Every structure is written in C-alpha cells, then in structure tokens.
C-alpha cells in the first residue's frame, strides 16, 4: 500500500503543481504591480467572452451524440454533483444568502476540475478506457451544471416583481450568454454531422486552450489584489462538501444504486473527488459578485486534494 500511494501521489503532485504555478504567476504579477488592479476582471472577461465559449463549442461539436448515451453513468455522476449543488444552495438560502450568491456557493461545492486535472489523472490512474466517462463528466460539469448555475444566478439578479417581465429579462440574458449559447451551438453542429476542420479547428483549439491557464492567472491576480480572506466557516463547509460529501454520495450511487461497470464507477468517484475548478470564480467575477469565498474554496480544495484524492485513488485501486 505505501508504494501504491507513493506511485499515485508523485504524478498527482506533478499534475497539480502547474495549477499552483499559474495562480502564483498571477499573484506575483499583481503584488509587483506588473499588472494593474483591473487585470483580473479584464482577463476574466476574455475567458468568459472568447476562450471558454470556444472551448465549450469545440467540446460539444466534436463529441458524437452516441458517446453521451450512458444514462447510468450520467445519473450517478449527475445526481452526485446535482445533489450537493442543490443541498448547498438550500442551506445558503436558509442562511439568508440571496439566490445568485447561493448558486455560486452551490457551484463551489459541486464543480470538480474535470478538465484541467481530471482527464490527465484518469488516464494516469485507470488508462485510456477511462477517458470516455471522463469526457462525459467534463461535459456535464462545464456545460450542464454550469448552465443550471447561470440560470439561477440570472433569476436571482432580477428585481422585477412582475413574473412575466422577470421571465423575459432572464430569457434575454440567457439567450445572449456566450457560456450557454456556445455549447448549445456545438451540440447542434455535432447532431447535424458538421465537421470543424482546417483554420476554424485551429482557431478553436488555440482560443480554447487559453481558457484554463488564463482563468487560473486571473484567480492569482484576484488573490494578489484582495488582502482579506474569505469567510473561514463558509470556505470550510464548501471544501468539505466538495472533497468529502460529493465523492461519498457518488460512490454510493455508482456502486450501490446504479451498479456501474467497475471502471466507470471508479472514474465517476475519482472525478467527483477533484477540487473545485475555476468555473465558479469566472462567474463570480463576470456577475460582479463577491469572489473571496470562491477564490479561497478553489485554493484550499486544490491544496487539500493532494491528500484526499491520493487516499481515494489508493482505496479504488487496492
């Protein structure tokens, strides 16, 4: 067991170290004033309006519909993430948090870093066969869960008392939101059999590849700008929900409710055990919400996941 843990911990550290390096690069640039006080917001706007939509469109456009035909896996992983998201939102609403901020907290507790950490980790731990469920989980995270959070945030931000007027504002906001329009357009292209090739494919790949590193640098810039930390109690609750509650719920669903094939069940659990990705921070900055708790949750969940994910891997591979 010690040799197994060591063999898994070292590559995991190698995968996560670039995450910290990118965050620190942004932090250092802000502290040394190489980038100004608006750099975090402007870089985040680049991610939201250009890089991330390109990535989401590319993912959906190059994923055949039949690849997503895995209802048991989708149910196990989706209910695990969705259950934690919903429970967190309800708890935060009960604590007098408004719907927009409660939705961001729900995303903090349920949004795994499936793309930047999950794909290479699954390939390392379970081999090439685990990439199919990993891609499905990534799509569910960055498209479906993200979309639900955006809808709730938009609902929470509307102040109209007239239901029809409120609904109209929400629909208009959602229809023009690039983070919803891009994956939907990609899904339609995939269903229609369109192939993205040549210069268009290169354009999407180059732009999409900038999403994760730029979001992490923007997070570092934000941390360098804000000297005060997030609320410790809230951050602790969200980190525990992400690293402990979500993988436990997904494990129960994957192994005991839906009885997934062993590889798919293991992949679902390890993906649900990943730290919080940068998606919640992007939304917090984009909608001008307080991002201190979100940035703290991403940072601390990533640090602590070096231990929790290693333990989870050791248990699943023993």
CATH number at residue 288: 1.20.1530.20
Lowest mean pLDDT among 78-92, 103-117, 189-203, 227-241: 227-241
Residue 166 pLDDT greater than 70, yes or no: no
103 closest CA partner among 296, 275, 280, 237: 280
Please tell me the predicted confidence (pLDDT) of residue 204: 94
Confidence (pLDDT) at 235:
94
Q: Could you tell me the pTM of the whole model?
A: 0.83
Give the pLDDT mean for 160-178.
70
Question: Residue 62 has what pLDDT?
Answer: 87
| Domain ranges, residue 60 | 2-317
227 has a pLDDT exceeding 70? no
* 14 touches 123 (CB < 8 A): no
What's the number of domains the chain is made of? 1
Model confidence band, residue 149 (pLDDT cutoffs 50, 70, 90)? very high
The band of 159, judged by pLDDT with boundaries at 50, 70 and 90, is low
Question: At residue 2, does pLDDT exceed 60?
Answer: no
What value does the mean pLDDT of the chain take? 86
The pLDDT score that the predictor gives to residue 155 is: 87
Q: Is the confidence at residue 196, as pLDDT, over 70? A: yes
Please say if the pLDDT value at position 54 is more than 70. yes
| 261-283 per-position pLDDT tens digit | 999 999 999 999 999 988 898 88
pLDDT at 214 over 70: yes
Q: Is the pLDDT of residue 16 over 80?
A: no
SS in 3 state form for the chain?
CHHHHHHHHHHHHHHHHHHHHHHHHHHHHHHCCCCCCCHHHHHHHHHHHHHHHHHHHHHHHCCCHHHHCCHHHHHHHHHHHHHHHHHHHHHHHHCCCCHHHHHHHHHHHHCECHHHHHHHHHHHHHCHHHHHHHHHHHHHHHHHHHHHHHHHHHHHHCCCCCHHHHHHHHHHHHHCCHHHHHHHHHHHHHHHCCCCCHHHHHHHHHHHHCHHHHHHHHHHHHHHHCCCCCCHHHHHHHHHHHHHHHHHHHHHHHHHHCCCCHHHHHHHHHHHCCCECCHHHHHHHHCCCCCHHHHHHHHHHHHHHHHHHHHHHHHHHC
Q: Rounded mean pLDDT of 42-68?
A: 87
In this predicted structure, the answer to whether residue 211 has a pLDDT above a threshold of 90 is no
Q: Say what the pLDDT of residue 282 is.
A: 86
Q: Identify the bridge partners of residue 276 per DSSP, sorted by sequence position.
A: 112
Residue 5 has pLDDT above 60, yes or no: no
Between 10 and 26, the more confident residue is 26
Please check the confidence at residue 3 and state whether its pLDDT lies above 70. no
80: pLDDT strictly greater than 90 = yes
Answer with the residue of higher pLDDT: 263 or 59: 263
- The mean per-residue pLDDT over the stretch 131-156 comes to 87
Which residue bears the tokens 């929470």?
Answer: 156
Residue 59 has pLDDT above 90, yes or no: no
């Amino acid at each position: 067991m010690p040799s197994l843990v060591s063999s898994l911990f070292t590559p995991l550290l190698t995968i996560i170290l670039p995450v910290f390096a990118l965050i620190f690069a942004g932090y250092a640039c802000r502290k040394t004033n190489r980038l100004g006080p608006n750099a975090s917001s402007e870089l985040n706007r680049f991610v939201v309006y250009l890089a991330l939509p390109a990535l989401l469109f590319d993912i959906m456009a190059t994923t055949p519909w039949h690849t997503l035909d895995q209802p048991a896996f989708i149910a196990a992983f989706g209910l695990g993430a969705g259950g934690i998201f919903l429970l967190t939102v309800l708890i935060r609403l009960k604590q007098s948090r408004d719907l927009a901020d409660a939705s961001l907290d729900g995303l903090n507790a349920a949004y795994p870093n499936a793309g930047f950490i999950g794909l290479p980790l699954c390939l390392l731990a379970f081999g090439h066969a685990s990439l199919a469920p990993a891609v499905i989980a990534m799509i569910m995270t960055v498209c479906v869960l993200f979309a639900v959070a955006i809808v709730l945030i938009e609902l929470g931000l509307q102040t109209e008392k007239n239901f029809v007027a409120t609904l109209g504002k929400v629909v208009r906001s959602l229809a023009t939101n690039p983070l919803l329009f891009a994956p939907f357009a990609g899904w339609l292209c995939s269903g229609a059999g369109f192939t993205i090739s040549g210069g268009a494919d290169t354009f999407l790949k180059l732009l999409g590849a900038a999403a994760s590193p730029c979001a992490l640098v923007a997070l570092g810039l934000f941390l360098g700008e804000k000297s005060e930390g997030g609320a410790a109690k809230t951050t602790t609750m969200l980190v525990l929900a992400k690293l402990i509650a979500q993988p436990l719920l997904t494990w129960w669903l994957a192994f005991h409710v839906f009885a997934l094939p062993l590889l798919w069940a293991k992949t679902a659990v390890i993906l649900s055990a990943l730290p919080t990705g940068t998606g919640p921070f992007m939304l917090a900055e984009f909608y001008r919400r307080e991002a201190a708790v979100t940035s703290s949750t991403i940072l601390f969940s990533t640090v602590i996941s070096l231990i929790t994910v290693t333990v989870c891997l050791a248990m699943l591979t023993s």
